[in-house]
Amino acid sequence: MPLVTPLPADSNAEVAELAEFFNETLGFCPNSVLTMMHRPKIAKAFIELNMAVMENQGRVTSALKRLIAYVSSNVTGCRYCQAHTIRAAERYGAEQEQLDNIWEYQTHPAFSPAERAALDFSIAASTVPNGVDADIQTRLHEHWNDNDIVELLGVISLFGYLNRWNDSMATTLEEGAIASGESLLAHQGWCVEKHV
């Protein structure tokens, strides 16, 4: 049971407008956003940040951003965000071979050296205490420019917020996210847990 009940997606015009944005990106409006709408300024600020972070300005693709978010969410243990990010990775064009072999990214041929450096960065930046060291910094700079690195860390940081929000709220997973979690992650031990 969630800590706070999400508002219905049609509860008012403001909520309906926000729901429309996410219906396009995920196929449904996340209950996390509907919970944030108890304080509309928080929801609006989150959506603005989300749009800024997920906008592609350089070489970091939409699919890679979602895979980075998935890896980060896995490190923190947020089942809600794991399901959302793997669904989004699939919807935003991640190759099936990458989806199927995400945890073999360090050696699997579906991942480039640049993607490996980005995913290693995601793991290191998502751990507490932080694991970003000189080796990771060097490898990032071999493959990514400063603007790209800002985009990468923007994704990791955005999901740091979402992981804490959704795990603490025990946000209820939506049917579409559950379906993605079950089809793409269950073989790795993923389950809904407290997000029912």
Based on the fold, state whether residues 142 and 75 are members of the same structural domain: yes
Based on the fold, state whether residues 44 and 129 are members of the same structural domain: no
Based on the fold, state whether residues 163 and 82 are members of the same structural domain: yes
Identify the domain containing residue 147 by its residue range: 62-188
3-state secondary structure of 96: helix
Based on the fold, state whether residues 24 and 74 are members of the same structural domain: no
Q: Residue 109: what pLDDT? A: 98
Overall domain count for the chain: 2
Instruction: Classify residue 156: in a domain, yes or no.
Output: yes
Based on the fold, state whether residues 158 and 97 are members of the same structural domain: yes
Q: Show which of 36, 54, 72 is a domain's final residue.
A: 54
Q: Residue 15: what pLDDT? A: 75
- Check which CATH number belongs to the domain holding 144 and give it: 1.20.1290.10
Instruction: Classify residue 75: in a domain, yes or no.
Output: yes
Based on the fold, state whether residues 37 and 111 are members of the same structural domain: no
- Rounded CA-CA distance 156/140 in Å is 14
Instruction: Classify residue 7: in a domain, yes or no.
Output: no
Tens place of pLDDT per residue across the chain (196 aa): 899 999 987 887 877 777 777 777 788 889 999 999 999 899 989 989 999 999 999 999 999 999 999 999 999 999 999 999 999 999 999 999 999 999 999 999 999 999 999 999 999 999 999 999 999 999 999 999 999 999 999 999 999 999 999 999 999 999 999 999 999 999 889 999 999 9
Q: Which pTM value belongs to this model?
A: 0.94
